[in-house]
Amino acid sequence: MTTKFKNIKDSTSEDWKAIDQSYYELRDQLPNRLIETLRQLDTIQGALPVSRLEHSLQAATRARRDNKSDEYVFTALFHDIGSYFTHVNHAEISAAMIRPYVSEDLHWMILHHEIFQSYHYFDKIGLDKNARDQFVSHRLYEATVEFCEKYDAPSWDAAYDSLRLEEFYDLVDSVTKNKRR
Ligand SMILES: [Fe+2]
Ligand SMILES: [Fe+2]
């Protein structure tokens, strides 16, 4: 059923039953839309050693090979998805996109990873690399340092044997299935 109102003020409770029903069907398409958006990161490389898709696959592959949880691997896979839409505040977009599916801790980590990651290169572009110090007493400081150190920073290696995107389909499906909302 397609509802017919022209102004939302005129919508009926029957309309909203139908809209609610269709929402569940649309929600089931979300994992696929996340994957297809991630795939577009293959078009973003510029002068970087690998594309942002390859970077994401490497980060997720390293996390999986370290036996991190599925939710952590999912987080690593999508940590830069926001860079498809914006650069300077990509962490905010990535964090917002994964928020329905991951813990508050993983969400915080991705929301702040851009600041923590800058520790590894901001001094080379004349900026303050120690901006992460403002969070030094935060309980997730060490976890975010670890994410950047082990999974984000090293994942620009053109020779790394990363898993293909297809190999993460089941993981994306299971992580999003449990918590879709
Ligand atoms: Fe990033
Ligand atoms: Fe990254």
pLDDT in tens, 68-121: 999 999 999 999 999 999 888 999 999 999 999 999 999 999 999 999 999 999
Quick: pLDDT tens for 114-167: 999 999 999 999 999 999 999 999 999 999 999 999 999 999 999 999 999 999
Q: Which residues form the domain of 141? A: 15-179
Contact in structure between 80 and 56 (CB atoms under 8 Å): yes
pLDDT at 17: 94
Q: Check: CB of residue 81 under 8 Å from CB of residue 37.
A: yes
Q: How far apart are CA 145 and CA 106, in angstroms?
A: 13
Would you place residue 27 in the very low, low, confident or very high pLDDT band (cuts 50, 70, 90)? confident
Ligand nearest to C-alpha 48: 2
Number of domains the chain is built from: 1
Query: Which amino acid is present at 3?
Result: T
Is residue 55 one of the residues assigned to a domain?
yes
In a domain, 67, yes or no: yes
* Ligand nearest to C-alpha 89: 1
Residue 7 lies in a domain: no
Tell me, yes or no, whether 53 lies in a domain: yes
The domain that contains 99 carries what CATH number?
A: 1.10.3210.10
User: What is the greatest pairwise CA distance in the chain?
Assistant: 60
Ligand 1 centroid to residue 5 C-alpha, Å: 42
pLDDT of 179 reads 67
pLDDT of 180 > 80? The answer is: no
**What pLDDT digit, counting tens, does each position of 33-61 carry?**
999 999 999 999 999 999 999 999 999 99
Cβ neighbours around 91 below 10 Å, total = 22
Ligand 1 centre distance from Cα of residue 114 (Å): 5
Position 8 in a domain: no
The pLDDT of residue 166 is 97
Q: Is residue 1 part of a domain?
A: no
Domain assignment of residue 3, yes or no: no
Which-ligand-closest: CA of 91?
A: 1
Q: Are 137 and 124 in contact (CB under 8 A)?
A: no
39 inside domain: yes
Q: Give kind and range of the element (H or E) at residue 29.
A: none
Residue (of 73, 150, 64, 57) closest to 106 by Cα position: 73
Neighbouring C-beta atoms of residue 23, cutoff 10 Å: 11
Identity of the amino acid at 98:
I
